[in-house]
Amino acid sequence: MPLLSWLSESTDERPDAIRVDDRSVSWVELRRTAAAVADDLRGVRRVAVTATSGLETVVAVVGGLLAGAAVVPVPPDAGPRERDHILRDSGAEVLLGPAGAEPTDPSGPPVVPVDLDRRSDTHHPEPAPEATALILYTSGTTGAPKGVVLSRRAVAACLDGLADAWSWTPDDRLVHGLPLFHVHGLVLGVLGPLRLGSRLHHVGRPRPERYAGAAGTLYFGVPTIWSRIAADPAVARALRPARLLVSGSAALPETVFGGLAALTGHRVVERYGMTETLITVSARADGPCRAGTVGLPLPGVQTRVMDERGDAVPTDGVAMGELQVRGATLFDGYLHRPDADAASRTPDGWFRTGDVATIGPDGWHRIVGRAATDLIKSGGYRIGAGEVEDALLAHPGVREAAVVGLPHPDLGQQVTAFVVGDGVRETELIEFVARHLSVHKRPRQVRLVDDLPRNAMGKVQKKLLPDV
């Protein structure tokens, strides 16, 4: 079946199938508008898209996929350092998106605006399932973000598994306001409706009052959004008529799960995934939902939890180890990074998630935390400590920097930088990082210190930093 099977076949001209903020289109209109974009992309292998939370992004992504190109979303607020890296590393030949987001690198691809007024009836044949659908850039513990290569087959397998687990059908109306350059907002939140036929209302920004006003059946959010909704009883009660509330991208605190159950009458479905693996584990709409657990492997996915010696730990709900996964939803590798690729897999071919988990006797998975402290999850965004440290060290007033995620009641973790500096102010450094990287990667707090704790080898001991 074509990746965007519903969109490819629909003859439905009713308006308001896909609404992004205040603009909406029918299925047929979206297909014809995107086909006009695809017509211009003939022969293009990789197309970057400035992924604002607008209808243009949906049209650009669909246009790229119809043309058979690999789509490379670029965070709209990425600073020049991050944007140039993504464009150069991906080899994107064209950048679709609003003018003004041009690469600063003169050798960067030409910027082509998306025209929502054009239509085409060209039929673009679906490429083979092993063709790349998306290259998503995601942070590792060190260095610049890596391109995660996802095939059409993997994306389709993930969405079909979720349709099964969540009873997600054309009768649904999905509501969310997540950014359109990650798995959650783009793969689940846009390609999901386009494959499965549910309507979509993207509310522009994930503000609680916009969720309350949207009248959906199915709602997606990261825990920070659910916690803000739980803190606003009137908003939470407005979600009572919904069919299903789904949380993912970070751990949902049990207090938020309980608060939402009391106010909305819904036990939130929690699911677990990664950019590299797409969604692999989830609670089911037709089964129980338990606070603090992420459910069972999705169809086509296998999981195991391994100790440090490489032996499987008992499935008793207590023994912890690294969660490893394999199956139909996995990525094809990191672009140009065979080293990182090899390190991410076991010799017998399982992907090492880096997450610490338990599996209970009933097969239910619980995510306990991460093995490495250098990957931070803040507001559901994955942020590599090393990338932020490199950005800070590019400031002339910074001599040393160590970045960690400290517990935060709203964001889960807060990016915090410990800096040894020469007469710099905290706010100046926060602004500096926000200008060079995506704004969400900026430290929310900078603590100026006289020195960083180091071991005898001179390596920074992050665990000895205050409050870590």
> What is the binding site for ligand AMP (CB under 6 A)?
138, 183, 248-251, 270-275, 294, 353, 355, 367, 370, 377, 382
User: Binding of ligand MLC at residue 51 (CB under 6 A)?
Assistant: no
206 binds ligand MLC (CB under 6 A): yes
CA distance 259 to 267: 10
Answer yes or no whether residue 295 interacts with ligand MLC by CB under 6 A.
no
Q: Is the dihedral of CA 362, 220, 56, 441 positive or negative?
A: negative
Q: Does 77 bind ligand MLC (CB under 6 A)?
A: yes
- DSSP conformational letter for 312: B
Closest CA to 268 of 280, 281, 259: 259
At residue 451's C-alpha, the angle toward residues 406 and 447, to 5°, is 40
User: How far apart are CB 3 and ligand MLC at their closest, in Å?
Assistant: 19
Residue 248 or 384 having the CB closest to ligand MLC:
248
DSSP 8-class letter at 113: -
Per-residue interface string for the shown chain with ligand MLC, residues 251-290, x marking contact by CB under 6 A: ----------------------xxx---------------
Q: Say how many residues make up the chain.
A: 468
Per-residue x/- track, 413-442, ligand MLC (CB under 6 A)? -----------------xx--x----xx-x
Query: Given the complex with ligand AMP, which of 241 and 369 has the nearer CB atom?
Result: 369
Cβ-based nearer residue to ligand AMP, 160 or 355: 355
255 contacts: CB under 8 Å, gap ≥ 6: none
Residue 9 vs 410, nearer CB to ligand MLC: 410
The count of C-alpha atoms lying within 13 angstroms of the C-alpha of 13, restricted to the half-sphere facing its C-beta, is: 1
The strand pairing partners of 18, in sequence order, are 25, 200
Q: Which of residues 102-131 bind ligand MLC (CB under 6 A)?
A: none
Are 356 and 367 in contact by the 8 Å Cβ rule? The answer is yes
DSSP 373: T
Q: Is 224 in the site for ligand MLC (CB under 6 A)?
A: yes
Residue 35 contacts ligand MLC per CB under 6 A? no
Shortest distance in whole angstroms from residue 185 CB to ligand MLC: 5
Strands (E), 390-468: 398-408, 412-421, 445-448
In the complex, which residues of this chain contact ligand MLC (CB under 6 A)? 77, 178-179, 182-185, 205-206, 222, 224-225, 248-249, 273-275, 379-381, 430-431, 434, 439-440, 442
